[in-house]
């Protein structure tokens, strides 16, 4: 059976400056495009049989630049980044000025109104479970690797869920832009076989 490949999109202006980028559809920077293209050799060495991708442009462009031209990519809304509600676009220090001691994984986010309702960690975990069920079915059906192109926090929560942990344990897995991580098995146990691998 294959592995689940996690590819975090390349750098954006907001990721470079530490702004929480949930549903705001920002493009890759030139450096982000280079990061994405640099992932191509590592991905070409894998037998990828299915690709699921967040519909946000930073993830889609990363997939375009790192996969062979014409490679089929299925847009998966469940891979969109955490909806940060009222904290969209703010940095952690800015949020902590408003809410001292705040931690995303412990405290979550407040609603930002109808345009940015926000999302609980429990709801994020449910989305990850749905995506994982789809990826697991593809692993079983194809025997090859399944590539997931998405964002930092959703991939971290997804990793925790794949390992049978609560989504809050995603706090333990740092994930940089333009990196590859691999979720596999060892002796029938789900494990991380590669993490935060740069191009």
Residue corresponding to tokens 């982000």: 32
Q: What is the DSSP string of 121-177?
A: HHHHHHHHHHHHHHHHHHHHHH-SEEEEEE-HHHHHHHHHHHTT--GGGGGG----T
Which residue of the set 9, 20, 151, 153 is catalytic?
9
Closest by Cα among 75, 159, 172 to 125: 159
Helix (H) or strand (E) holding 95: helix 92-98
Cα torsion at 44, 45, 50, 53 (round to 10°)? -60
Q: Residue 153 catalytic?
A: no
Closest by Cα among 89, 31, 83 to 61: 31
Q: Residue 76 catalytic?
A: no
Cα separation of 31 and 116, whole Å? 29
Cα separation of 165 and 71, whole Å? 33
Which residue of the set 11, 33, 76, 81 is catalytic?
81
Residue 137 burial (CB count, 10 A):
12
Catalytic positions, please?
A: 9, 81
């Amino acid at each position: 059976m294959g592995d689940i490949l996690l590819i975090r999109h390349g750098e954006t202006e907001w990721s470079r400056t530490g702004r929480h980028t949930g549903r705001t559809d920002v493009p890759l920077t030139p450096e982000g495009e280079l990061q994405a293209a640099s992932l191509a050799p590592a991905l070409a060495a894998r037998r990828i049989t299915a690709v699921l991708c967040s519909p946000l442009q930073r993830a889609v462009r990363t997939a375009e630049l790192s996969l062979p031209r014409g490679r089929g990519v299925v847009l998966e809304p469940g891979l969109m980044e955490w909806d940060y509600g009222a904290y969209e676009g703010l940095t952690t220090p800015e949020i902590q000025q408003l809410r001292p001691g705040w931690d995303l994984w412990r405290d979550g986010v407040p609603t930002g109104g109808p345009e940015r309702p926000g999302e609980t960690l429990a709801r994020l975990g449910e989305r990850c479970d749905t995506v994982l069920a789809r990826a697991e079915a593809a692993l079983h059906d194809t025997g090859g690797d399944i590539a997931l192109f998405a964002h930092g926090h959703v991939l971290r929560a997804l990793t925790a869920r794949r390992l049978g942990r609560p989504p809050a344990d995603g706090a333990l897995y740092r994930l940089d832009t333009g990196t590859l991580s691999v979720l596999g098995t060892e002796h029938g146990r789900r494990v991380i076989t590669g993490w935060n691998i740069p191009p």
